[in-house]
Structure 1
């Protein structure tokens, strides 16, 4: 059975083999939170996106191969509840968006829009999207001669952008998501959110006017 991205807490992780990178998706709670372990195919370097919860499950997933980096997509606690324990156990560096770093424990490096994070010889591009939090980041991986992949945290889900407090934050988030993601990347771009199931930009693109109109 191929990758579907459909996981639940306690279920077997979902594994997807990309050109150059393996993505392992696991649900660790506390609110159906997803964590993503990325592994470089050429040298085995591993990077974890959102050490959300349940450090024992994440450490078992990491295994003996070690962990180079943990990236936290934004400062909300449900996305970094296990961060300190993972960093302590693995010695990994801890990366977060500069404008959210103060709200995240154990940040060793900050990133801004356009910066890159290495996964062995693979590269993640940092895209800063403002609205869910001031320093939320989305990570873009482009397969060589293949499709683009986005790890969107809580900024983009199937069915809409992430939660915002107030109209100004909503306008900021949907504006950044539209211009930095939808306007830039093609329909076959696959995205992996911080909660729930995956989707593609093509599946969500027709609904952008509806999202604008409803205001959330």
Structure 2
């Protein structure tokens, strides 16, 4: 039976759309059963409805700094839709330690850098200022510490001297859309084993290819 997944968004829902598209395939082990937004103006809500996915709006602003009260309302909606797994897709709200513990090992997030490098805000700007030659995206489990949960899947892209935050963001977004469905597939099929702060992937293999930037002449 397919695992029931909720995607939490605050904006356009780009990764949400990639997950919904991936879940349309017959052999995908999860179904996107619910999309929740904490903002009424999130463009992703309309995209989810157009795709035939149930949506819920739980605005966070009325709750102010009372994160626990917001999470109770969110949990009620998740329970109502019998949600088993959560994917965060640009969800701009921090969770309490209690909520992350409750969903430990069942809640994924995607961050546009190769964690543990460049966590938090402006990861593209951080990467460009550091002068790295390779950046990318990371799908990881959500923990109480921001962008610090066990890493599930990473994808890398080259960084050029001519990149801006906008061009780098666009290129990394492409790889985000590739690795997030793969991470959800691994989680939904039970192929991930958590050992303390690390993920072990059943029958995983490393690629024989290397990404080197810049390439040597």
TM norm. shorter chain > 0.5: no
Larger Rg: 2
Would you tell me which structure has more strand in proportion to its own residues? 1
Greater relative CO, 1 or 2 (CA 8 Å, sep 6+):
2
Q: The TM-score by the shorter chain falls in which range?
A: 0.3 to 0.5
What TM-score, normalized by structure 1, do the two folds share? 0.33
Would you tell me which structure has more helix in proportion to its own residues? 2
What TM-score, normalized by structure 2, do the two folds share? 0.33
